[in-house]
């Protein structure tokens, strides 16, 4: 292990919830919970104000609502979170070529490899400057841990939360770890923690005192040996700049079990499209298509099909997923569906036959529509049986226009009104949608209610969290004043 605390771990503070508070002035300083809002939803992130009520990540949303009934409950806006994450990761890459992202809001950095730190003083200076830069660029806060290893740096950032910096000086690691719970160490979850507790081991110091042989007897050679080494503050894992992506997948959990087979097929096709979008965004293609189905009784089935070569063609993935679905019995109801692609590659070998077939079907349907032939639901459903229904439906929609449908307004999503400007959805129901009109740079805005089919109201893209003031004309119309800019955000 190195002799200076030059491994940095950054963890953004309550990332999703903090981003929502920064975007919505009326929520600053208030309890905010981000996650799935349906009966089966879970908490993705809770603001520190919500955590005071006992709300935490992975908690069922129903339980969170009971604990904090007056909190703001919002659906995630991953587009915004990814944009902010890219800004933060850009700042980290300015420090070192060795940056190891763990998620959108968390990463390790090897400061020594970047030549920006070689002792305690320089490492601390870099950490403080990073926290300042993150606040200036994103308007958010992050906690920084500095130590001689990845394990210790992560523990230090946890100790620093929220919005702090903790440096573990070389030579003090054992004294720091000793009284901590065994759950502090990586790889010790609830099951392992209970197993150790039954063996009379509850702290890190007790792991060290038990000895490696006892740990191996309790947990096995690999797990026991690594856990004993970590209890002695030994961690030789390097910071790895690139971690290979092994798969790309998307899945949805439904508030009410889906029993209609046609609806299940439609959902699988939609998930396949989303999966390909992610696949292309990552610059990959893949050979193996995977379908995941969780049924009404919580039994989970997976089916897979390997293609002749890697593809990123949505038609190919959609048709493969449809074929896989035919082998799954969904008569009892479906609570979760997922589509994934594995066997990733950086090039694509298109399935030209499938692509040509889809184009031919689309052209045939479009010609029928131009000739005045009505293509009904029976035709679309029949085509879907063979996996070619989606291109047909798209062609008909393009020819005759989309069928009218009530627009859905998710709580927290951005909207724009022709008269009142930018705002966000506070809630909707019974044919009405409530919108608060404010921007990241304004004071808390006013609330107005509209019909869900109001043509002056439309979905909008999120605004940057820093550097955007009040839209032109908005302040005069609403009597708002521009909020003062925080230091470093000019």
Query: What Rg value do the Cα atoms of the chain yield, rounded?
Result: 26
Q: Are 221 and 212 in contact (CB under 8 A)?
A: no
- Give the tens place of pLDDT for each residue, 187-199: 888 888 888 998 8
Quick one: pLDDT band at residue 152, thresholds 50, 70, 90?
very high
Among residues of the chain, what percentage have pLDDT more than 90?
Answer: 58
Supply 475's token pair: 């302040």
Return the closest-CA partner of residue 308 out of 248, 359, 245, 354.
354
406 band by pLDDT with thresholds 50, 70 and 90: low
Query: Residues 276-293: what's their mean pLDDT?
Result: 90
423 membership: H or E segment, kind and range = strand 421-429
Cα distance from N-terminal residue to C-terminal residue, the chain: 41
Give how far the C-alpha of residue 43 lies from the chain's centroid of Cα atoms, to the nearest Å. 12
Considering the candidates 106, 267, 438, 478, report the single residue annotated as catalytic: 106
DSSP, collapsed to helix, strand or coil, labels residue 295 as strand
pLDDT-based confidence at residue 304 (cuts at 50, 70, 90): very high
pLDDT at position 85 is 94
Task: Examine the residue annotation and report whether 106 is marked as an active-site residue of this protein.
Answer: yes
Least confident of 140-149, 169-178, 246-255, 310-319: 246-255
For residue 340, the cross-strand partners are 249, 290
For 450-488, write each residue's pLDDT tens digit.
999 999 999 999 999 986 444 433 333 333 333 333 333
Contacts of residue 60, Cβ cutoff 8 Å, sequence gap at least 6: 40, 41, 42, 43
């Amino acid at each position: 292990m190195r002799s200076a605390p030059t491994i940095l771990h950054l963890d953004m503070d309550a990332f999703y919830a903090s981003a929502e508070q920064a975007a919505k002035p009326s929520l600053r300083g208030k309890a905010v919970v981000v996650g799935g809002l349906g009966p089966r939803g879970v908490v993705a992130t809770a603001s520190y104000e919500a955590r005071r009520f006992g709300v935490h990540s992975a908690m069922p949303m129903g339980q969170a609502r009971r604990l904090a009934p007056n909190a703001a409950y919002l659906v995630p806006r991953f587009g915004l979170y990814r944009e902010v994450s890219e800004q933060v990761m850009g700042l980290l890459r300015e420090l070192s070529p060795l940056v190891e992202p763990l998620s959108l809001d968390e990463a390790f950095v090897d400061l020594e490899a970047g030549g920006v730190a070689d002792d305690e003083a320089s490492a601390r200076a870099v950490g403080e400057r990073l926290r300042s830069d993150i606040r200036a660029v994103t308007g958010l806060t992050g906690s920084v841990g500095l130590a001689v290893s990845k394990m210790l740096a992560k523990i230090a950032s946890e100790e620093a939360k929220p919005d702090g910096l903790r440096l573990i000086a070389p030579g003090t690691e054992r004294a720091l770890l000793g009284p901590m719970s065994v759950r502090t160490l990586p790889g010790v979850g609830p099951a392992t923690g209970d197993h150790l507790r039954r063996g009379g081991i509850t702290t890190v110091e007790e792991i060290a005192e038990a000895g490696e042989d006892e740990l191996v007897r309790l947990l096995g050679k690999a797990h026991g040996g690594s856990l004993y080494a970590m209890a002695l503050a030994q961690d030789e894992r390097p910071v790895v700049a690139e971690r290979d992506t092994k798969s790309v997948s998307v899945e949805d959990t439904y508030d009410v079990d889906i029993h209609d087979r046609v609806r299940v097929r439609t959902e699988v096709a939609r998930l396949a499209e989303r999966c390909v979008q992610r696949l292309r965004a990552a610059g990959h293609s893949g050979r193996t298509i995977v379908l995941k189905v969780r049924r009404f009784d919580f039994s989970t089935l997976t089916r897979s099909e390997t293609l002749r070569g890697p593809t990123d063609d949505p038609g190919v993935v959609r048709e493969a997923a449809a074929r896989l679905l035919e082998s799954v019995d969904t008569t009892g109801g479906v609570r979760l569906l997922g589509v994934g692609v594995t066997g990733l590659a950086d090039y694509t070998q298109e399935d030209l036959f499938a692509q040509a077939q889809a184009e031919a079907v689309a052209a045939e349907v479009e010609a029928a529509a131009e000739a005045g032939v009505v293509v009904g639901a029976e035709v679309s459903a029949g085509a879907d049986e063979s996996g070619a229904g989606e291109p047909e439906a798209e062609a008909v929609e393009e020819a005759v226009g989309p069928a009218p449908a009530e627009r859905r307004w998710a709580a927290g999503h951005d909207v724009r009104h022709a008269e009142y400007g930018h705002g966000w959805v506070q809630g909707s129901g019974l044919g009405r949608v409530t919108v608060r009109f404010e921007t990241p740079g304004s004071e808390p805005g006013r609330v107005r209610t509209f019909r869900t089919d109001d043509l002056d109201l439309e979905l909008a893209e999120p605004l940057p969290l820093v550097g955007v003031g009040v839209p032109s004309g908005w302040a005069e119309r609403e009597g708002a004043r521009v909020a003062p800019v925080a230091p470093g955000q000019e």
